[in-house]
Amino acid sequence: MGEGSEVAMPRLRAMLPSWVTCAELLGEPPDATVTVAASLTGGDERTRPGSGHFPSGTGVNCGTDETGGDEVVAGVMVAAMAGATPARRQAFAAGRACAAQALRMLGMPAGPIPRGAQGAPVWPPGVTGSITHCPGYAAAAAARDGTIIGVDAEPCLPVPPGVLSRIAAPAEIEGLERLAVPHPGRLLFSAKESVYKACFPLTGRRLGFLDAEVAFDPGGGFTARLTGPGPRRLEGRWTVADGLALTAIAMPCPG
């Protein structure tokens, strides 16, 4: 997006429940636009009004490669991104900058968020969260312990030939035919990514694509039924807008 172009409005924050705030990075650096969604108790006029409810208990933000240059992000990148391509390093920096700001919005120090042994973000004690990035977009969500969070963004493009049959059960594929959105297979992939991000902090186990069966509500919701350890059912929201397929899960941890 260049000067004078129309900036797409944020979408993810409208999909999150009342204890979540959100911000989204739209566009490619250096012309990217960061939009912060503050809590209702301290609303930010820069966000799209009337699309969600965001108390102060959870923070979300994102950043460009400029914000990715701070000491917190740079220190993590040295350890995690050695040998990565410039594009991959930029995406990693954007996601970690988002996460650092999410911690600040929680009233916590913006310490490093390294990668764990299986690649998942390692959040500070007492915090859970999720990070996502794809070309032209980045976001992160964080909350105090007691919340399941998983967010994912994917470019709204067709899945490669032969992939859908490997990630989806026949009932899931049939359900996609009822969605009036472009490339619903990509939306399903995103939903499963959000499910896995939400479950991993609880189980420490990587799920296979067929370990969760997702059913979409055309009105913007989805449910996931899971096998194996961890929760048996998760609920989330979805949207397809501005060339992105976005999915989000944020709900209390099961008792």
> Token digits for 39?
């809590």
Q: Is the same domain home to 103 and 62? A: yes
Choose among 105, 110, 127, 12: nearest CA to 55: 105
Which of 127, 145, 163 represents a domain boundary (last residue)?
145
pLDDT at 114 over 60: yes
Q: Which residue has the higher pLDDT, 130 or 83?
A: 130
**Of residues 157 and 94, which shows the higher confidence score?**
157
Residue 120 lies inside a defined structural domain of this protein: yes
Which of 64-78, 99-113, 205-219 is modeled with the greatest confidence? 205-219
Residue 174 lies in a domain: yes
Structural domain containing residue 53? 12-145
pLDDT tens figures, 182-240:
999 999 999 999 999 999 988 888 888 999 999 999 999 999 999 877 789 999 999 99
In a domain, 58, yes or no: yes
pLDDT over 70 at 102, yes or no: yes
What is the count of structural domains for the chain?
Answer: 2
Listing DSSP states for the chain in one string gives --TTPPPPPP-GGGGS-TT--EEEEES-TTS-EEEEE--GGG--TTSPTTS----TTEEE----TTGGGSHHHHHHHHHH-TT--HHHHHHHHHHHHHHHHHHHHTTS------B-TTS-B-PPTTEEEEEEEETTEEEEEEEETTEEEEEEEEES-PPPTTTHHHH--HHHHHHHTT--SS-HHHHHHHHHHHHHHHHHHHH--PPPGGGEEEEEETTTEEEEEE-SSS-SEEEEEEEEETTEEEEEEEEEPP-
4 belongs to a structural domain: no
Assign residue 193 the CATH number of its domain. Answer: 3.90.470.20
Residue 180 has pLDDT above 80, yes or no: yes
- For 118-150, write each residue's pLDDT tens digit: 888 888 898 889 999 998 888 888 888 888 999
Residue 161 scores a pLDDT above 60: yes
CA separation for the pair 186, 97 (Å, rounded): 26
In terms of domains, do 157 and 141 share one? no
Q: Which pair of tokens denotes residue 253?
A: 């941890």
Same domain? For 138 and 159 the reply is no
User: CA-to-CA distance for 18 and 194, rounded, in angstroms?
Assistant: 18
CA-based R_g, the chain, Å: 17
Whether 138 and 200 map to the same domain: the answer is no
237 in the same domain as 178: yes
- Considering the domain boundaries, does residue 33 fall inside one? yes
At which of 122, 145, 168 does a domain end?
145
Lowest mean pLDDT among 35-39, 56-60, 67-71, 91-95: 56-60
Examine the domain organization and report whether 185 and 85 are in the same domain: no
Share of the chain above pLDDT 70, in %: 71
Report the pLDDT value the prediction gives residue 41, as an integer from 0 to 100: 27
Residue after which a domain boundary falls, among 110, 145, 180: 145
Residues 157 and 140 in one domain: no
Contacts of 144 (CB under 8 A, 6+ apart): 57, 58, 106, 126, 127, 128
Judgement on whether residues 164 and 241 belong to the same structural domain of the protein: yes
Q: Tell me, yes or no, whether 70 and 120 share the same domain.
A: yes
Q: Please report which confidence band the pLDDT of residue 51 belongs to, taking 50, 70 and 90 as the band edges.
A: very low
38 with 136, same domain: the answer is: yes
Residue 4 above 80 pLDDT? Answer: no
Q: Is residue 197 in some structural domain? A: yes
**Which single residue is written with the structure tokens 């069966």?**
213
Q: Stretch 31-57: mean pLDDT, rounded?
A: 34
Mean pLDDT is lowest, of 71-75, 179-183, 238-242, for 71-75
In a domain, 6, yes or no: no
Residues 58 and 141 in one domain: yes
Residues 21 and 132 in one domain: yes
Q: What is the pLDDT of residue 128?
A: 87
Identify the CATH number of the domain in which residue 28 sits: 3.90.470
82 within some domain: yes
How high is the pLDDT of residue 14? 81
Written as six digits, the tokens of 80 are 């995690």
Q: Is the pLDDT of residue 168 over 90?
A: yes
